[in-house]
Structure 1
């Protein structure tokens, strides 16, 4: 059993989430996409930020609805008192369609069996369904060959009073302008097929952050903005700041150890780094179990006492090491791993470069040991 005094000794690993930055980004993106409306993706616990808190801020800033991945996440939002439209689309064989109907969720439908399950759930109200066509991403969504049968099944379910055929939608691969143009063509063709079969769609949606920002023809009735809401650019050639967005998370931890070592001292597993002179090593209690990418060891830097210091040696499960030379550092001094960059600290986008990945992964992987704190 944990004694209360032990809780005080635990390092304060903290992800500070700026809800005003969330609101700013939603308003910025909404103004850009207008007259298309804005739906905010809060899947994966709002990219690691905290789903309920981010959803509330996004709706306050004018988002018309929320996108999650699955029904349990949507039900959590409903339990928190959120009554805005909520869209869920990854529905496996164990999905609770009856609970989704009772909670008045919008469901993304890719296959006829999902419609059969909705009809079998015998809800007391029709559920709004968004029929998905696979336009080339090859994840869920009906293929071109499956699409006519999916539409016919949806129209039968609508006639039975089980569903309302509300929207047609898809995902883009964001591979190249040519690939997106082909996906857009396939989407238009699928909508035309559905209309010829008797479908009437109130909404069409295709774009997420990338296309929502740079492809007006893909915005349709609303854009499902994801990573851009969190202040991170979906593009390789522009930062979030270049797009007028503000980073929303600052990750930090206190210095947990300070020690003086001689020249030639090996550091961390594998001793891939050795000190060149007598120096001070500083231990930071964050590691790959907290979401710090191991591959970034030897490339990354962090912010401490007004300057950057490089991460030395391999990043471990729970900690990494800094070589601060002769600079004074005390136990408890705050190390900023990434933040907005206003002071000179690294950003999540920089960490993405050091880890050969995307900013989405850097923020979404922050682990459960890291406390989320919200401002203002």
Structure 2
């Protein structure tokens, strides 16, 4: 039996995920996707969804850098989500190739390749399976430069991983592990909200001097299209985007949750006459404290929302920083709307996710405090 036939983990689940992302059961999505209305980059654009924009970014990286390598489980034929489709045929199996089912090995090989001067772009098939590679990433990749006093590094390392809820991924295909890595100096962690951001952030990560993790919300791969610049461009890591300006409440999220919060902001305006400011954090490490603090000092109220569990979620770090920097400006306790402290459920996923109704309830609570 060929490698491609045996490599797909949990084949039934993967097949269902592809059907979800193709829109067959899209009605189960817990958000309304709103595309970026204008590109921050000038030049020719074309319509792309997020998996296409990622594929385009990888194509540009391979074309512009002869040392670039792309590898992971099943990526030779395009990967589960087709983000690498056509690249092996275009650049050859020496530069785009499958790996064994061993996440620790993928990360270890990527670190070695980057340390020797190659631009290593590794894919972990699902973010849920990044944990076998955790030691390699946090104990080796993150510390490589520091432990040598800057004499050597593995900064040409980027690891991509599909993350987050998708409709029925259950406990092994739905997790959001960004907070685990945010505790590790030496890494950079980004989470794009759509095609334009995905392409620009991925190219920035590939060319960044530090090891980078790109967590791609898998439910966004085919959620909608945007007018994406066709050329080579990069977007800043560590700079949040203020998507909607408001004076009453600051809403903070990243990835899929940004689209939930944009819808909630509209609902709050209609139901409560409350003007919310919506911020996409864009990157978890580093994160844009200045933009967040400036916003909260203006609105005096803040709600943070993410799919990961409450305890130890990155929302706690944001809340702690806001409390330290904005204490005398706050008119209500900071609210967190998150997943629950349980394994990610299957049939109860709609109750687990921080959907628009839970976020709207938090708005009602914070304005009536």
Asked whether the two chains share a fold, i.e. TM above 0.5, the reply is no
Higher helix share: 2
Larger Rg: 1
Q: TM-score range by the shorter chain?
A: under 0.3
TM-score (norm 2): 0.27
What TM-score results when the alignment is normalised by the length of structure 1?
A: 0.26
